[in-house]
Amino acid sequence: MRLEAADGMRLRAYSWREIGRDESLLLRALAILMIILHNYLHWVSDTPGENEFTFRIVRVHEFINGLWNTPQDFVRLCASYLGHYGVQVFFFLSGYGITRKYGDSIPSWWGFLKRRWAALYPAVFIAAIGYLVYEGFRLGFGFVFQTQGLNLLGQITGVSNFSPDNVYHPIGPWWFIGVIVQFYLLVPLIFKLINTYGERLLYLLAALALLAEFFLGPVLDSWADVNINHTIIGHLDVCLLGVWFARRGKVEIPWVVLLGAVLLFTLGNFYYTLWLISGGLLILFLLPAMRLVCSAMSRYKKVVVVGMFLGNLSLYLFLCNGYLRRPMIERAEADPHWWTSIWSCLIFLGIVIIWAIILRWVDEKTRQYFRNLIH
């Protein structure tokens, strides 16, 4: 990462360079912290909500009013309204990482899916067992199995994304599983089409996805009560942006483009049409900003160690933070003071990290056990 200078000291572009493994882990750490803070703090009362799956202009007005009337509540308000965009970072990194791994080769559809499932689902199954244990002790095992067993199965398989009563239940953030699995189903076909038709295909697919979101989204919502943003269609543009950057390697992004993305993203909080492309717009300036943060972090060895640790742990942090919110969030809801939100969130973050470490340990031991059985 560096800035290119022209005409003396006048800066004209941000120079995008390839994301290495270590930097990718730091980006994942920053993104998962955004997600965890959001998933906790947006449950506290008097938060503005977020334009994540649906657009309501009143939300940005409440966000602005909150910042104006209670500036000391800045962290909670920003995490509630903006923190969900950490998910878009993961969509981008998914497209970017897969493209970097395979290059111009076309993975076989079944072989690719088996490898992706093998990387994802052991952790998902173990996290699901963790959910059943945690909620079982809290609410009773019989009650949890009876009321949430089928819902949990729906989220694990991804079919819950097409059921409004199941998509967020029992674990709110697990809508992501269904979407990323849908992306995996498409990857070999996308790569084959790119190799056949070139990068023009990326532009076409992104445009078709955005048009589908604009025209098909309301139809699906009205006729089938399905939110198109619970499917890969609503996030395909960001995934493909990751593919595009990975294929290019080095990209000079003019500052006028970055500033334009900031402006259009800001306007997207007020206008529905621009909101539809807000994920891609945000990535254009958020990723460079996050990479500058990673560069600053790299000066401090201990900070890098912690960041890479959280990046390596990010999958497990994501899988468990959604069901560990209670009963801690109930304490914050009972006393919606900004300081209560902060200290309770920090305790929650510590609990999530410890639980995620346990999940990863169980995952590693389980994988090792089955490898020993095979050999």
Q: What are the distances in angstroms from CA 100 to CA 3, 198, 228?
A: 23, 16, 28
- Give pLDDT, residue 11: 65
- Whether residue 39 contacts residue 272, with contact meaning beta carbons closer than 8 Å, is answered with no
| Local structure of residue 42 (DSSP, 8 states) | T
What range does the domain containing 291 cover?
2-374
Mean pLDDT (whole number) for 358-362: 98
Structure token pair of residue 1: 């990462």
Spacing of C-alpha 48 from chain mean position: 20
CA proximity to 42, closest of 7, 9, 84:
84
Q: At 329, is the pLDDT very low, low, confident or very high (cuts 50, 70, 90)?
A: confident
Structure token pair of residue 329: 């969030």
- Whether residue 319 contacts residue 156, with contact meaning beta carbons closer than 8 Å, is answered with no
- Give pLDDT, residue 275: 98
Mean pLDDT (whole number) for 241-250: 95
Measured from the Cβ of residue 137, the count of other Cβ atoms closer than 10 Å reads 10
Find residue 253's DSSP bridge partners.
14
Measured from the Cβ of residue 180, the count of other Cβ atoms closer than 10 Å reads 20
Rounded Cα distance between 20 and 160, Å, is 34
Mean pLDDT (whole number) for 287-316: 96
- Whether residue 321 contacts residue 36, with contact meaning beta carbons closer than 8 Å, is answered with yes
- Whether residue 37 contacts residue 321, with contact meaning beta carbons closer than 8 Å, is answered with no
The reply to whether omega before 170 is within 30° of 0 (cis) is yes
Rounded Cα distance between 66 and 216, Å, is 34
Q: At 328, is the pLDDT very low, low, confident or very high (cuts 50, 70, 90)?
A: confident
CA proximity to 284, closest of 304, 307, 256:
256
- Give pLDDT, residue 107: 83
Task: List all residues 6 or more positions away from 364 whose beta carbon is below 8 Å from its beta carbon.
Answer: none
CA angle at 36 for the pair 217 and 301, rounded to the nearest 5°: 130
- Whether residue 92 contacts residue 283, with contact meaning beta carbons closer than 8 Å, is answered with yes
Each residue's pLDDT tens digit, 28-42:
999 999 999 999 999
Number of domains comprising the chain: 1
Strand order from edge to edge, sheet including 2-5: 2-5, 11-16, 251-254
- Whether residue 343 contacts residue 316, with contact meaning beta carbons closer than 8 Å, is answered with no
Each residue's pLDDT tens digit, 162-210:
999 999 999 999 999 999 999 999 999 999 999 999 999 999 999 999 9
Each residue's pLDDT tens digit, 95-128:
999 999 998 888 899 999 999 999 999 999 999 9
Mean pLDDT (whole number) for 360-365: 97
